Amino acid sequence: MSPIRIGLVGVGKIARDQHLPVIAANADYELAAVASRHGRVEGVPNFADLAALLANATDVDAISLCTPPQARHALARQALEAGKHVMLEKPPGATLTEVYDLIDLAREKGLALLATWHSRYAPAVEPAKAWLAGKKLLRVHISWKEDVRYWHPGQEWIWAPGGLGVFDPGINALSIITHMLPNALIVDKATLEVPANRQAPIAATLEMHDHQGLPVRAEFDWRQTGPQTWDIIIETDQGTLTLSRGGAVMSINGVPQIEQKEQEYANLYALFARLVAERRVDADLAPLRIVADAYMTGRWVRVEDFVE
Amino acid sequence: MSPIRIGLVGVGKIARDQHLPVIAANADYELAAVASRHGRVEGVPNFADLAALLANATDVDAISLCTPPQARHALARQALEAGKHVMLEKPPGATLTEVYDLIDLAREKGLALLATWHSRYAPAVEPAKAWLAGKKLLRVHISWKEDVRYWHPGQEWIWAPGGLGVFDPGINALSIITHMLPNALIVDKATLEVPANRQAPIAATLEMHDHQGLPVRAEFDWRQTGPQTWDIIIETDQGTLTLSRGGAVMSINGVPQIEQKEQEYANLYALFARLVAERRVDADLAPLRIVADAYMTGRWVRVEDFVE
């Protein structure tokens, strides 16, 4: 089979760190063109925007969207309308409705659509899921605490409406836990701490349960200096499983298990190649729904200004 | 066919005003039992809660839930697990995830589930939808302004997390418009006005569009004294349609058309009887998704205390 001719839109940090090297290393893909307002990639045609890319690089098969979520719906529709398969960075949109709209359109056109959740492909996620099978789950605690100044310097879009604030990293934890647990997580109570000079939360606490009564608590905080924490702790009747470093490491009762190589984006592009071959949609909105549920049922608390 | 033996849970205002008279008037139903903490209905067995009803009135076929949204998921699951068909008052839940969970469970069990949107059955909605067919839509304006003190006296649950505040009536307008328009509505911008002493909005403005660029603006306000407004105005290339009084009346270019009799709940129970016969799910979450999208992307503005 000839490689998938892919066009990439939005040459920013995540595109350079992950998408471009992974595409270059995967023989199933050929980078055919890029579109970006500021970024450039050598060796392929560069366009100012997706419309120009679609008008000129007409033999592109698929589009990978690495732009901020707020503008993603219009771009994804444009690509699907032009008959291109589409891969969406996370979160797949600024609203739920727009992603459901894309799912409907992709199905109607028989095109592949992938709403990516890269953290689900962290090395320890599948081994952890396998270890949990058959055990009785007692309690889940998620602690996702990082320094926004270090990880998101100058990224104004994460603070703008639709940028989700601390849920932007937090949704990675939710994407892991919704993949690992057997049942849907219902938000009972949420607190959103919003800086007085911003419109998005800098910290959030979610208390959830599933229909079997499993308590799941998540703490997201962007004000963490010093040690950074991306941990999920699952207590079972046969010991405690800890996923740390965002799913990179698994420990059982405090004893680290074998560490595997990180290849989140390599796995995402491998999955997308299969979806393109089968013209299939893979768009699980469970993580974004939980965020929406937290906004809808949560208590807003004003906290001190955030100044970068 | 023998009538559907129905159990009603939550004997409050909406049950007395609508559900009980409509059930009594429909030969397809037989009221078999009720469960309520405070309310009582003469002539049928009364129980303190759904669990007691299910344990004693074992030959009930279906459950109609008229309780506030915050407790609905656990009750609906309980009823479905017991093999009963379920009808949900609007909004169908306090969160999106819990309603998707019920849809999955009902499908798995082959039971009927109806998430009701009574305003979709207002008399002028179908005639208005028919009039719009084939016309070019230019602009939609929704104005839903009522006096919360008059319409929701002492209803603390609407102000509590999950009660949705002014979206509780506003979602009626959204249920009509999502039924009438051909495309999904994407929230671009929203403002939520939240009283300093409450956690739910007392007013909200939503700016939306569909993928063809149709602008849709909604204004919800609970501080309206004097004339109350439940209007949807749709400008087309062939004149302006106005739905007023919550969908009861239709005017074209200001000229009122024939008024029909209100029978929203009669239509809902007729639909539910068909769903029960076919063991089918009818649960369109588009209205609740728009509310969630408004919460997620909206700007919060603190306004003065609301004192009842």
Q: Going by C-beta distance under 8 Å and a sequence separation of 6 or more, which residues neighbour residue A299?
A: A189, A190, A191, A192, B161, B199
- Given a contact cutoff of 8 angstroms between Cβ atoms, the answer to whether A210 and A234 are in contact is no
Mean pLDDT of chain A: 96
- Residue A297 has its nearest CB partner, among B162, B187, B300, at B162
- Closest Cα to residue A250, out of A131, A87, A146? A131
pLDDT, residue B261, reads 87
Residue from A78, A81, A186, A206 whose CB has the most chain B CBs within 10 Å, to mutate = A186
Distance, in Å, from the CA atom of B224 to the CA atom of A184, rounded to the nearest integer, reads 39
Q: Note the pLDDT tens digit of each residue in B158-168.
A: 898 888 999 99
Break chain A into its structural domains and give their ranges.
4-115, 119-262+293-303
Q: Going by C-beta distance under 8 Å and a sequence separation of 6 or more, which residues neighbour residue A63?
A: A6, A7, A8, A9, A50, A53, A75, A76, A79, A84, A85, A86, A87
ipTM of this complex prediction, to 2 decimal places: 0.95
DSSP assignment of A10-79 equals: --SHHIIIIIHHHHHH-TTEEEEEEE-SS---TTS-EESSHHHHHHH-TT--EEEE-S-GGGHHHHHHHH
Superfamily of structural domain A4-115: NAD(P)-binding Rossmann-like Domain (3.40.50.720)
Structural tokens at position A182: 């057997």
- Residue A186 has its nearest CB partner, among B95, B190, B297, at B95
pLDDT, residue B257, reads 93
Inform me whether the pLDDT recorded for B258 exceeds 80. no
User: How distant is the alpha carbon of residue B136 from its chain centre?
Assistant: 28
Structural tokens at position B247: 């969908």
- Given a contact cutoff of 8 angstroms between Cβ atoms, the answer to whether B211 and B182 are in contact is no
Structural tokens at position A10: 């939005």
Q: Note the pLDDT tens digit of each residue in B41-63.
A: 999 999 999 999 999 999 999 99
- Given a contact cutoff of 8 angstroms between Cβ atoms, the answer to whether B73 and B101 are in contact is yes
What CATH number matches the domain at B119-262+293-303, 3.30.360.10, 1.20.120.1200, 3.30.750.24, 2.60.40.2300? 3.30.360.10
Residue from A72, A95, A177, A198 whose CB has the most chain B CBs within 10 Å, to mutate = A95
For residue A77, the chain B residues in CB contact (below 8 A) are 211
Q: What are phi and psi of B124, to 5 degrees?
A: -90, -5
Q: Note the pLDDT tens digit of each residue in A5-33.
A: 999 999 998 999 999 999 999 999 999 99
State the average pLDDT over residues A269-290.
Answer: 98
Rg (CA), chain B: 20
Q: Note the pLDDT tens digit of each residue in A33-42.
A: 999 998 999 9
DSSP assignment of A172-204 equals: HHHHHHHHHSSS--EEEEEEEEEETT-SS-SEE
Chain A, nearest residue to B178 by Cα? A97
- Closest Cα to residue A288, out of B96, B74, B94? B96
Q: Check CB contact under 8 Å for B97 and A289.
A: yes
Distance, in Å, from the CA atom of B17 to the CA atom of B40, rounded to the nearest integer, reads 14
The neighbour count for residue A17, using CB atoms within 10 Å, is 11
pLDDT, residue B224, reads 97
The neighbour count for residue B37, using CB atoms within 10 Å, is 10
Inform me whether the pLDDT recorded for B296 exceeds 90. yes
Q: What pLDDT band is residue B283 in, cutting at 50, 70 and 90? A: very high
- Closest Cα to residue A262, out of A21, A94, A8, A15? A21
CB burial of B47-68 (b: ≥16 within 10 Å; e: otherwise) equals beebeebbeebeebbbbbbbbb
Inform me whether the pLDDT recorded for A258 exceeds 80. no
Half-sphere exposure of A176 (CA within 13 A, CB side): 35
Q: Note the pLDDT tens digit of each residue in A152-181.
A: 988 888 898 888 999 999 999 999 999 999
Q: What are phi and psi of A228, to 5 degrees?
A: -95, 145
Distance, in Å, from the CA atom of A152 to the CA atom of B251, rounded to the nearest integer, reads 53
Query: Which chain B residues touch A if contact means CB-CB below 8 Å?
Result: 73-74, 77, 94-98, 100-101, 104, 161-162, 164, 183-187, 189-190, 194, 199, 211, 286, 289-293, 295-300
